């Protein structure tokens, strides 16, 4: 259904994007629904995990907003069940939760959530994360170039420029940076990065990842201690500044 993204970053579709909100707190549900409807989304609300799973199967929403603390089952179980369905790989799942423990966020992401937002969150943040999650799951919306501030990555030409000057990365550094850039705006867990770059049998120790990230930062960040392109989410992973290219 998704057609294209315009210069302003608005997603234009032949119908409104349909969001399924699974949230048991009535106040949060009503407020979030109103906010999203005012932004042009169609919203269906579910108030339990079981109801949410049923509606996911019957309505085929474009994206799921999922609270983790549900009355009948843990939201992580909802993610696990949906990701076990054979045709669910293009459904973005954005977790919205009051839980702040790193392990719980990592667990939700490892089970197949695209991203998480910690409550309370702002409306602009919510809508930005929805757009990022939708884009990530739809390859036709992927862009050929990453551009933000002074950094430009041309994925087809394998070229990286900082303020117009070419930057040279090792093959591993390039793979790591482009993986983050292709998923810009989303957090990628340490485990996901290590598995994707070094393979499933790689040592899960983060040391090699940290060393490569330090090298990348030395090359692209003006002050590696205060990065503006790749941010550390302590205990979870890395998030790259959102792509501004159209
Ligand atoms: Ca709840």
Nearest to 180 by CA among 237, 103, 223: 237
Residues 148 and 176 in one domain: yes
The encoded tokens of residue 189 equal: 């867990």
Mind listing the pLDDT tens digit for each residue in 185-230? 999 999 999 999 998 888 777 899 999 999 999 999 999 999 999 9
- 6 occurs within a structural domain: no
Please list the residues that pair with 4 across neighbouring strands. 12
Could you give the number of structural domains in the chain? 2
Residues 26 and 132 in one domain: yes
Give the C-alpha distances (Å, rounded to integers) separating 81 from 11, 73, 98, 113.
28, 11, 22, 12
Last residue of a domain, one of 140, 170, 190: 140
Find the 110 Cα to ligand 1 centroid distance in Å.
Answer: 20
The encoded tokens of residue 138 equal: 């739809």
3-state secondary structure (DSSP) of residue 87: coil
What is the DSSP track for 102-164?
A: HHHHHHHHHHT--EEEESS--HHHHHHHHHHHHHHH-GGG--SEEEETTEEEETTTTEEEETT
Find the 210 Cα to ligand 1 centroid distance in Å.
Answer: 35
The helix/strand count (H/E) of the chain reads as 8, 14
Residues 25 and 130 in one domain: yes
Whole-prediction pTM: 0.82
- 233 occurs within a structural domain: yes
In what helix (H) or strand (E) does residue 36 lie, and over which residues does it extend? Answer: helix 26-38
Query: Which range of residues forms the domain containing residue 200?
Result: 143-240
pLDDT of 231 higher than 50: yes
- According to the model, what pLDDT value does residue 4 have? 45
- 85 occurs within a structural domain: yes
In what helix (H) or strand (E) does residue 35 lie, and over which residues does it extend? Answer: helix 26-38
Find the 67 Cα to ligand 1 centroid distance in Å.
Answer: 6
Mind listing the pLDDT tens digit for each residue in 91-122? 999 999 998 899 999 999 999 999 999 999 99
Find the 193 Cα to ligand 1 centroid distance in Å.
Answer: 30
Find the 61 Cα to ligand 1 centroid distance in Å.
Answer: 21
- 245 occurs within a structural domain: no
- Please report which confidence band the pLDDT of residue 246 belongs to, taking 50, 70 and 90 as the band edges: confident
Last residue of a domain, one of 140, 174, 202: 140
Find the 19 Cα to ligand 1 centroid distance in Å.
Answer: 18
- 3 occurs within a structural domain: no
Find the 100 Cα to ligand 1 centroid distance in Å.
Answer: 13
Find the 69 Cα to ligand 1 centroid distance in Å.
Answer: 4
């Amino acid at each position: 259904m998704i057609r294209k993204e315009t210069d302003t970053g608005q997603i234009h579709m032949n119908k409104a994007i349909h969001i399924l909100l699974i949230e048991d707190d009535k106040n949060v549900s009503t407020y979030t629904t109103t906010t999203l409807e005012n932004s042009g989304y169609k919203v269906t609300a579910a108030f339990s995990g079981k109801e949410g799973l049923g509606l996911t199967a019957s309505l085929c929403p474009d994206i799921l907003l999922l609270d983790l603390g549900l009355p009948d089952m843990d939201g992580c179980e909802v993610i696990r069940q949906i990701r076990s369905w054979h045709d669910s790989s293009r459904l973005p799942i954005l977790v919205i939760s009051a839980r702040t423990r790193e392990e719980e966020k990592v667990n939700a992401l490892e089970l197949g959530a695209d991203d998480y937002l910690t409550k309370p969150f702002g409306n602009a943040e919510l809508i930005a994360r929805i757009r990022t999650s939708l884009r990530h799951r739809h390859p036709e919306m992927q862009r050929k170039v990453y551009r933000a501030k002074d950094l430009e990555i041309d994925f087809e030409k394998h070229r990286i420029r900082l303020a117009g000057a070419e930057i040279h990365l090792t093959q591993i550094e390039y793979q790591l940076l482009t993986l983050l850039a292709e998923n810009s705006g989303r957090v990628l867990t340490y485990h996901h990065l290590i598995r994707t770059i070094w393979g499933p049998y790689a040592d899960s120790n983060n040391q090699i990842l940290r060393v490569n990230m330090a090298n990348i930062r030395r090359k692209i960040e003006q002050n590696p201690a205060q990065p503006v392109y790749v941010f550390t989410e302590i205990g979870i992973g890395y998030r790259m500044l959102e792509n501004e290219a159209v």
